[in-house]
Chain A
Amino acid sequence: MIYEVFRQERKGQPFQHAGSVEAPDHAFADVYAREQYGRRGESQALWVVPREAIIEIDEFVDELNRNYHRVDGYSLKDKLRRARERVGSALVARDS
């Protein structure tokens, strides 16, 4: 059975995928995951998850292209740049 291993490098940090181990059961997965990803001080904690337990989603339907539902639908970058330019030129005008 394949187990996916996620590791946390420091307390409070998000867990990130580290790799996987193949093991006949949870007890073996525990020992092999420690061996490969934990015991040299490189991890604060590990999540060891049977691959079948992971719900993988890789198809996303967006027929109507409703990108305003997504956080990246409102790009603030340009607005911010324009705002900074306005303020910048106002400051230049004030100081001169």
Chain B
Amino acid sequence: MNESEAHSLLAIADDELILGWRDSEWTGIAPLLEEDVAFSSIAQNEIGHARALYELLARERGITADELAFDRSPEEYRCSRLVELRLLDWEKTVARQYLYEQADAKRLEQLMQSDDPELAGLAAKIDREEAYHRMHAQMWFERLKDEPRFTAALEELRPLLDADRDEHSPELSELWDEMTMVRRSQPAGTAW
């Protein structure tokens, strides 16, 4: 794996972890029960993808996936502003999902072409699951595409995809506080 691959891999891993967390906030409160099951499962997949990517990266650095995922400060995360937002409106959540899946498909496509067979293989494996996420996003897109609130949400969120990944919203710090609370409450070196 080369430097630039490692760099973009970390961005993907962070995106998937943070988006997985945000999606999981819908567990129990999604608009339909079936959607609750489907969206929670998507959330879990994203965190699973993050774990696989962190493991690959952590091995190269000689640390654990958990250390890489949770022991950095919020400023060091490379996730997109899009995934950080706490979006309690369903149409915004769907708009984010749609935008994210489109962008994610493009970069997975690139990773699958990597010269590193392990990386290409992992990307292909992730992509097979993402296919379900894209199908889910497409289904919601078709249903909401003529709703002004949905199209407005798409327009509002689209620029965040290309925003600088070194700048983060305050919502990331809040999320990081919650996400790492239990881990930070233990002395360093605690064996889980």
A31 at the interface (CB under 8 A from B): yes
Which of B29-37, B48-56, B113-121 touches A?
A: B29-37
A88 to B32, CA, bound (A): 65
A79 at the interface (CB under 8 A from B): no
B41 at the interface (CB under 8 A from A): yes
B38 at the interface (CB under 8 A from A): yes
Q: Is the CB of A22 within 8 A of B132?
A: no
A44 at the interface (CB under 8 A from B): no
Q: Is the CB of B33 within 8 A of A34?
A: no
Would you give the shortest CB distance from B159 to chain A, in whole angstroms? 28
Q: Is the CB of B139 within 8 A of A22?
A: no
Q: Is the CB of A31 within 8 A of B136?
A: yes
Interfacial chain B residues near A28, Cβ < 8 Å: 34, 139, 143
**If the complex has contacts A21-B34, A23-B34, are A35 and B132 also in contact, measured as CB distance less than 8 A?**
yes
Interface size of A in residues (CB-CB distance below 8 Å) = 14
**If the complex has contacts A27-B142, A35-B41, are A22 and B135 also in contact, measured as CB distance less than 8 A?**
no
Interfacial chain B residues near A21, Cβ < 8 Å: 34
Would you give the shortest CB distance from A27 to chain B, in whole angstroms? 5
Q: How many A-B residue pairs have CB under 8 A?
A: 37
A66 at the interface (CB under 8 A from B): no
A32 at the interface (CB under 8 A from B): yes
Which single residue of chain B is at the shortest CB-CB distance from A23? B34
Q: Is the CB of B37 within 8 A of A35?
A: yes
Interface size of B in residues (CB-CB distance below 8 Å) = 13
Interfacial chain B residues near A22, Cβ < 8 Å: 32-34
A34 to B142, CA, bound (A): 18
Q: Which of A12-48 contact B (CB under 8 A)?
A: 21-25, 27-28, 30-32, 34-36, 39
Q: Which of B85-102 contact A (CB under 8 A)?
A: none
Q: Is the CB of A32 within 8 A of B132?
A: no
A7 to B139, CA, bound (A): 22
Interface set of B (CB-CB < 8 Å, partner A): 32-35, 37-38, 41, 132, 135-136, 139, 142-143
Interface set of A (CB-CB < 8 Å, partner B): 21-25, 27-28, 30-32, 34-36, 39
Please list 21 pairs of residues, one from A and one from B, whose beta carbons are closer than 8 Å in the complex, sorted by A's number.
A21-B34, A22-B34, A23-B32, A24-B143, A25-B143, A27-B139, A27-B143, A28-B139, A28-B143, A30-B139, A31-B38, A31-B136, A31-B139, A32-B35, A32-B38, A35-B37, A35-B41, A35-B132, A35-B136, A36-B34, A36-B38
Closest 10 CB pairs of A and B: A32-B34, A35-B38, A27-B139, A31-B139, A31-B136, A21-B34, A22-B34, A31-B135, A39-B132, A32-B38
